Amino acid sequence: MFSLSFYATLVGSSSSSCSFPCSSSKTTIFNKTTPPTTNTTISTTSTSATSKHVWTRRIPHPPFSNTNKQQQQQQRHTRTQQQQKQQSPYMDRSVDMNELLTSIAQTQNIEQLYSILSPYNGRQLSIRFMISILSREPDWQRSLAILDWMNEIAQYSPSLNVYNVVIRNVLRAKQWQLAHGLFDEMLQKGLSPDKYTYSTLITHFSKQGLFDSSFFWLQQMERDNVSGDLVLYSNLIELSRKLCDYSKAISIFNALKGSGNIVPDLIACNMMISVYGKAKLFREARLLLQEMRDNGVNPSTASYSTLLAIYVDNQKFVEAVSLFSEMNEVECPIDLTTCNIMIDVYGQLQMIKEADCFFWGMRKMGIEPNVVSYNTVLRVYGEAGLFGEAVHLFSLMQMKGVPQNVVTYNTMISIYGKSLEHDKATNLIQEMQSRGIQPNAITYSTIISIWEKAGKLDRAAMLFHKLRTSGVKIDEILYQTMIVAYQKAGLVAHAKRLLNELKQPDNVSRETAITILARAGKVDEAMWVFRQAFDAGEVKDISVFGCIIDIFSRERKYAHVVEVFEKMREVGHFPDSNVIALVLNAFGKLRKFERADALYKQMYEEGCVFPDEVHFQMLGLYGARMDFNMVESLFEKLDSHPNINKKELHFVVANIYERADRFNDASRIMNRMNHKAIRSHGNA
């Protein structure tokens, strides 16, 4: 955690009014109270403190400048405004803006910049104009210098917008501490941050993966009762998406739609298609395409590519092909990314010829294949056993000067593994390093598997040992690969030793250790490490929570499920559909029906959308409790919901009644469905 005095020594502000760490008593959907931690250090010193002497010299009179015609006309049109302006000290209408901006842009250093600005001391330039200068100024040091000039020499009182722009410039230069300090300075001047301030801060921190800081600013914003706009909501959705907290993203999207005056635009919708897909809400994703058209937002190539990629991720290749033909029908243009996805689709469908044609036909469509296209086709060749073609294409890339990357090499290494040429695979590691392409965890786990299959386990073990001592990042799959290699070679003791070391991990993160232990069925060890890591504030990744909830549920450790879930909520994560299903189930098994009911209702109120199975499960829980009033009322609610499979709903409810020996109710439900079917048939 940084100290604010650090900024104070740089810029000379004496005290700080910004409260760190922030503790919010208000209940928010982001109920995280951890203060931000930023590890970045400031490498450059602010110039503002060192250059002040320049401003102390006598400043000459402002130069005369002709007002252009356009400005004169504007003056006439805004006469009332002009009269107000005359009382104000701003006189920038007598200055040629473009000329001044050009000369400012041409200055090489801060001294030159001051000499341009100094004639205007006395507020001949409006705040508006100063913002123009600042927003065109890419250099954070110069931005700060201009801000200081306004504050200390030219007797401006910089507005909120001025600070917003300077904060943006400082954030773009990744000067995190300075941004915090500027925020503080802003408060000291009695300025209240607005949605732009927060939007800028939240976005820049989250873009850098500094999610703690991002959440901190979000809390500040909520505490200030600043309400968001489309941009801010989009940023929050993006932030949740990056944290893989898709339920939260959906909740924010629903809050956005519910706010009344904000209509999601193309980019917001495309992000949501991706979110729905990641949340496995495929129907919602597809429906959003239609909803966009209804709202007058035409789905773009990226909208379709996003959904295509989702289908691929979930092995829904037939749906992908069908969506691709829809794309052609509605004449949505196809670009490089679309092509790359479709090569993948045909490859995964074992339609090698189609994939091949697609790849070689791209250029005729005016689309030049890139590294990703080549890498994808390489993999398709490899999986089809076309090793000669793969090797040929690999050298063709080099002949054509297509840049190769770590993925290219990993793919080729894997292909040589398949063709049992493990020496060639090994050589590729040397080759990539000599070409300046660094192997990564995927490279190493690929080669360890290959060596294990080739009976060179000693070599694999040596490499793994070297990696552990050399500081290479070891993730769970790489670690797991080595364990599996030992197990396959019958060296169970070695495998166990690796697992045991995870209880006190020194080369891998505790998050990684927890996932491996849990997946290896070491439930108690996993829980032990989890508790330790959680208390140390090390568990951040939502997938870790999901992973162990999954394992505990399978092991029927329902109390553990609930404990992990509560900790997950404590740090502000929303449950995804899998987690909520498992937790509802755990509550049911523990006979804590009220808690299941409360959770389900809370998630509904917070705007979460879940697959049908979750709703059906809740119905089942009400049924298990013999609470048929609740069954009926939830049934009615779901039945009037447009996005629920009605047929399944009726079967589920009828089944609940049957199990409770209430056959009259069961047949009542089934009849209701049949009547509906007849009615809609009659209408059609």
Q: In sequence order, which residues have a C-beta less than 8 Å from that of residue 149 and are 6 or more positions away?
A: 55, 114, 117
Determine which residue in the list 196, 565, 574, 657 makes contact with DNA, applying CB under 7 A: 196
- Is 341 a binding residue for DNA by CB under 7 A? The answer is yes
Binding mask 203-222 for DNA (x = CB under 7 A): x---x---------------
**Positions 30 through 59 that interact with DNA (CB under 7 A):** none
Per-residue CA distances from 633 to 298, 396, 538, 630, 655 (Å): 38, 65, 42, 5, 16
Per-residue CA distances from 172 to 61, 86, 203, 409, 596 (Å): 35, 37, 11, 34, 45
Q: How many residues bind DNA (CB under 7 A)?
A: 68
Q: What count of other Cβ atoms lies within 10 Å of the Cβ of residue 359?
A: 22
CB of 178 to DNA, least distance (A): 17
Q: Report DSSP letters for 377-388, one per residue.
A: HHHHHHHTT-HH
Compute the Cα dihedral for 297, 300, 305, 311 and give only its sign.
Answer: positive
Determine which residue in the list 16, 38, 340, 426 makes contact with DNA, applying CB under 7 A: 340
CB of 337 to DNA, least distance (A): 3
d(CA 469, CA 464): 9
Do the Cβ atoms of 89 and 122 come closer than 8 Å? yes
First vs last C-alpha separation in the chain: 66
Q: Which stretch binds DNA (CB under 7 A): 163-171, 557-565, 568-576, 602-610?
A: 163-171
- Is 238 a binding residue for DNA by CB under 7 A? The answer is yes
Output b/e per residue, 463-477; b: 16+ Cβ within 10 A. Answer: bbeebbeeeeebbbe
Do the Cβ atoms of 520 and 501 come closer than 8 Å? no
- Is 255 a binding residue for DNA by CB under 7 A? The answer is no
**Residue 541 or 555 with smaller CB distance to DNA:** 541
**Positions 471 through 500 that interact with DNA (CB under 7 A):** 475, 477-478, 481
- Is 303 a binding residue for DNA by CB under 7 A? The answer is yes
Determine which residue in the list 200, 240, 515, 553 makes contact with DNA, applying CB under 7 A: 200
- Is 414 a binding residue for DNA by CB under 7 A? The answer is yes
CB of 459 to DNA, least distance (A): 17
Determine which residue in the list 38, 177, 306, 515 makes contact with DNA, applying CB under 7 A: 306
- Token pair of 523, please? 């439930």
- Is 375 a binding residue for DNA by CB under 7 A? The answer is yes
d(CA 275, CA 279): 6
Do the Cβ atoms of 32 and 215 come closer than 8 Å? yes
- Is 509 a binding residue for DNA by CB under 7 A? The answer is no
Place of tokens 């593994």: 417
Q: What count of other Cβ atoms lies within 10 Å of the Cβ of residue 559?
A: 11
CB of 48 to DNA, least distance (A): 21
- Token pair of 254, please? 């629903």
- Is 265 a binding residue for DNA by CB under 7 A? The answer is yes
**Residue 203 or 426 with smaller CB distance to DNA:** 203
DSSP state of 363: G
- Token pair of 65, please? 């400048």
CB of 542 to DNA, least distance (A): 17
- Is 230 a binding residue for DNA by CB under 7 A? The answer is yes
- Is 199 a binding residue for DNA by CB under 7 A? The answer is yes
d(CA 361, CA 369): 10
Using a 10 angstrom Cβ sphere, with 0-12 exposed, 13-18 middle and 19 or more buried, the burial of residue 312 is middle
Q: What are phi and psi of 471, to 5 degrees?
A: 80, 10
Q: Which stretch binds DNA (CB under 7 A): 372-380, 496-504, 520-528, 586-594?
A: 372-380
Q: Which stretch binds DNA (CB under 7 A): 181-189, 260-268, 637-645, 672-680?
A: 260-268
- Is 597 a binding residue for DNA by CB under 7 A? The answer is no
Determine which residue in the list 47, 143, 175, 270 makes contact with DNA, applying CB under 7 A: 270
- Is 11 a binding residue for DNA by CB under 7 A? The answer is no
Per-residue CA distances from 509 to 18, 272, 323, 544 (Å): 33, 31, 41, 12
Determine which residue in the list 48, 164, 175, 515 makes contact with DNA, applying CB under 7 A: 164
- Is 405 a binding residue for DNA by CB under 7 A? The answer is yes
Determine which residue in the list 4, 178, 268, 428 makes contact with DNA, applying CB under 7 A: 268
- Is 444 a binding residue for DNA by CB under 7 A? The answer is yes
Q: Which stretch binds DNA (CB under 7 A): 65-73, 401-409, 488-496, 528-536?
A: 401-409
Output b/e per residue, 626-650; b: 16+ Cβ within 10 A. Answer: eebebbeebbeebbeeeebeeeebb
Do the Cβ atoms of 556 and 528 come closer than 8 Å? no
**Residue 342 or 548 with smaller CB distance to DNA:** 342
Angle among Cα 452, 454, 459 to the nearest 5 degrees reads 55
CB of 213 to DNA, least distance (A): 15
**Residue 249 or 599 with smaller CB distance to DNA:** 249
**Residue 92 or 597 with smaller CB distance to DNA:** 92
**Residue 391 or 407 with smaller CB distance to DNA:** 407
- Is 379 a binding residue for DNA by CB under 7 A? The answer is yes
- Is 312 a binding residue for DNA by CB under 7 A? The answer is yes
Which bin fits 315, alpha (ψ -120 to 50), beta or left (φ > 0)?
left
**Residue 117 or 442 with smaller CB distance to DNA:** 442
Q: Report DSSP letters for 594-656, one per residue.
A: HHHHHHHHHHHHTT----HHHHHHHHHHHHHTT-HHHHHHHHHHHHT-TTS-HHHHHHHHHHH
CB of 339 to DNA, least distance (A): 7
d(CA 309, CA 270): 12
Determine which residue in the list 38, 46, 177, 449 makes contact with DNA, applying CB under 7 A: 449
DSSP state of 455: T
CB of 635 to DNA, least distance (A): 37
- Is 175 a binding residue for DNA by CB under 7 A? The answer is no
- Is 431 a binding residue for DNA by CB under 7 A? The answer is no
Give the side-chain half-sphere CA count within 13 A for 495. Answer: 18
**Positions 100 through 159 that interact with DNA (CB under 7 A):** 131-132, 135
**Residue 341 or 603 with smaller CB distance to DNA:** 341
Run of H or E including 484: helix 476-488
Place of tokens 């299903």: 581
Q: What count of other Cβ atoms lies within 10 Å of the Cβ of residue 498?
A: 19
Q: Which stretch binds DNA (CB under 7 A): 82-90, 441-449, 502-510, 563-571?
A: 441-449
Q: What count of other Cβ atoms lies within 10 Å of the Cβ of residue 427?
A: 13
**Residue 207 or 676 with smaller CB distance to DNA:** 207
**Residue 401 or 642 with smaller CB distance to DNA:** 401
Determine which residue in the list 4, 104, 165, 377 makes contact with DNA, applying CB under 7 A: 165
**Residue 391 or 669 with smaller CB distance to DNA:** 391
Q: Which stretch binds DNA (CB under 7 A): 18-26, 144-152, 231-239, 543-551?
A: 231-239
- Is 302 a binding residue for DNA by CB under 7 A? The answer is yes
Place of tokens 């398949």: 418
Give me Rg for the CA atoms of the chain.
31
The site for DNA (CB under 7 A) is made up of 131-132, 135, 161, 164-165, 168, 195-196, 199-200, 203, 207, 230-231, 234-235, 238, 264-268, 270-271, 274, 300-303, 305-306, 309, 312-313, 335-338, 340-341, 344, 370-373, 375-376, 379, 405-408, 410-411, 414, 440-446, 449, 475, 477-478, 481
